[in-house]
């Protein structure tokens, strides 16, 4: 009798686990995907410019030119920084490590609502106080021309 009760209890517990409704599971999050037309072009901020071209296979050709302007007793001066290379994009976010940058240097490009939001880890080999971080607006939809082309 006790064995039958344990068997029924085990079967009932198994049924409760198996019979959970599918809706109780977390829904998959929808990933935003951007098109080549949305990323291609020249993006500008007050302190820098990104030129971006979709190459296919989730790759973007990227070139950055930035500056940090400051005043001296001799007049205005600026530190500059440049970086180029291939970024790998997934959804609306691309990861870019400029050529010749340190191993831990990385730039993240997020395309959202017609803007390019950029964050930077490390110095990326740029001049003192030069950073790619910031919000960029698309200045041109034309295919950008890159240095060394």
pLDDT in tens, 24-38: 455 556 668 899 999
Mean pLDDT, residues 98-127 taken together: 95
Q: pLDDT tier at 103 (50, 70, 90 boundaries)? A: very high
Which of 23, 74, 79, 72 minimizes the C-alpha distance to 47? 79
Token pair 């930035």 is found at 66
Whether 16 shows a pLDDT value over 70: the answer reads no
Q: How far are the Cα atoms of 55, 56, 61, 95, 149 from residue 39, in angstroms, in the given order?
A: 11, 12, 11, 14, 20
Alpha helices for the chain (secondary structure H): 2-18, 36-39
Please state, rounded to an integer, the average pLDDT across all residues of the chain.
86
81-90: average pLDDT: 96
To the nearest whole percent, how much of the chain has pLDDT over 90? 74
3-state secondary structure of 112: strand
For residue 27, the model assigns a pLDDT of 55
Say whether pLDDT at 22 is over 90.
no
Residue 147: per-residue pLDDT: 86
Check pLDDT > 50 for residue 17: no
Percent of the chain at pLDDT > 70 equals 79
Least trusted range by pLDDT, from 18-27, 72-81, 106-115, 119-128: 18-27
The predicted pLDDT at position 60 comes to 98
């Amino acid at each position: 009798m006790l064995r039958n009760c344990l068997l029924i209890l085990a079967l009932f517990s198994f049924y409760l686990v198996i019979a959970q409704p599918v809706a109780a599971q977390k829904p998959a999050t929808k990933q935003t995907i951007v098109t080549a037309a949305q990323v291609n072009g020249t993006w500008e901020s007050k302190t820098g410019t990104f030129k971006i071209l979709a190459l296919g296979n989730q790759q973007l050709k990227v070139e950055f030119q930035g500056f940090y302007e400051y005043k001296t007793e001799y007049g205005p001066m600026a530190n500059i920084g440049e970086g180029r290379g291939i970024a790998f994009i997934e959804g609306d976010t691309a990861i870019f490590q400029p050529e010749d940058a340190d191993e831990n240097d990385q730039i993240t490009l997020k395309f959202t609502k017609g803007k390019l939001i950029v964050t930077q880890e490390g110095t990326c080999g740029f001049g003192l106080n030069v950073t790619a971080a910031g919000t960029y607006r698309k200045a041109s939809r034309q295919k950008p021309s890159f240095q060394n082309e």
